[in-house]
Amino acid sequence: MRILVINAGSSSVKLSVFDMPSGEQRFEHEMEKIASVEEAVAAIPALLREKNAAQVDAVGHRVAHGGMKFRDAVTLNAEVMADIKDCVPLAPLHNPPAIAGIAIAAETWPGVPQIAVFDTAFHQAMPARATTYAVPERWRDAGVRRYGFHGTSHQYMMERVAAELAMPASQFRLISCHLGNGASVCAINRGVSVDTSMGMTALEGLVMGTRSGDVDPGVFAYLNRTQALSPAEVEDALYHRSGLAALSGIGNDLRDIERRAAQKDARAELAIDVYAYRARKYIGAYAAAMGGVEALSFTAGIGENSALMRRRICEGLECLGIVLDHDANAAVKLEGFEAPQIQTADSRVKVLVTRTREQWMIARETHRLLSG
Q: Is 255 in the site for ligand AMP (CB under 6 A)?
A: yes
By CB under 6 A, what part of segment 196-215 binds ligand AMP?
Answer: 209
Beta bridge partners of 8: 13
- Give the end-to-end CA distance of the chain in Å, rounded to a whole number: 13
| Cα torsion 303, 217, 135, 65: sign | negative
Q: Report the 10 Å Cβ neighbour count for 230.
A: 11
Catalytic member of 72, 83, 119, 236: 119
Q: What is the DSSP string of 318-355?
A: GGGT--B-HHHHHH----SS---B-B-TT-SSEEEE--
Q: Is 12 in the site for ligand AMP (CB under 6 A)?
A: no
Min. distance of Cβ 264 from ligand AMP in angstroms? 18
Contact pattern from residue 316 through residue 355 relative to ligand AMP, giving x for each residue in contact according to CB under 6 A and a dash for the rest: ----------------------------------------
Q: Which position among 45, 113, 180, 340 is part of the footprint of ligand AMP (CB under 6 A)?
A: 180
Q: 14 vs 71, which CB is nearer to ligand AMP?
A: 14
Q: Is 300 in the site for ligand AMP (CB under 6 A)?
A: yes
* Stretch near ligand AMP under the rule CB under 6 A, chosen from 32-40, 45-53, 83-91, 294-302: 294-302
Distance of alpha carbon 368 from alpha carbon 40, whole angstroms: 27
Q: Which position among 74, 254, 361, 369 is part of the footprint of ligand AMP (CB under 6 A)?
A: 254
* Neighbouring residues of 191: CB distance < 8 A, sequence distance ≥ 6: 158, 168, 169, 170
Q: Where are the beta strands (DSSP E) in 119-182?
A: 173-179
Q: Which position among 64, 302, 313, 351 is part of the footprint of ligand AMP (CB under 6 A)?
A: 302
Q: 189 vs 305, which CB is nearer to ligand AMP?
A: 305
Q: 114 vs 197, which CB is nearer to ligand AMP?
A: 197
Distance of alpha carbon 175 from alpha carbon 299, whole angstroms: 11
Distance of alpha carbon 206 from alpha carbon 239, whole angstroms: 12
Min. distance of Cβ 301 from ligand AMP in angstroms? 2
Q: Is 327 a catalytic residue?
A: no
Q: Is 297 in the site for ligand AMP (CB under 6 A)?
A: no
Q: 114 vs 242, which CB is nearer to ligand AMP?
A: 242
Q: Report the 10 Å Cβ neighbour count for 139.
A: 11
Q: What is the largest CA-CA distance in the chain?
A: 59
| Element counts in the chain: helices (H) and strands (E) | 16, 11
Q: 74 vs 179, which CB is nearer to ligand AMP?
A: 179
Specify the amino acid at residue 64: A
Q: Is 253 in the site for ligand AMP (CB under 6 A)?
A: yes
Residues recognised as catalytic: 119
- Give contact residues for ligand AMP (rule: CB under 6 A): 180-181, 209, 252-255, 258, 300-302, 305-306
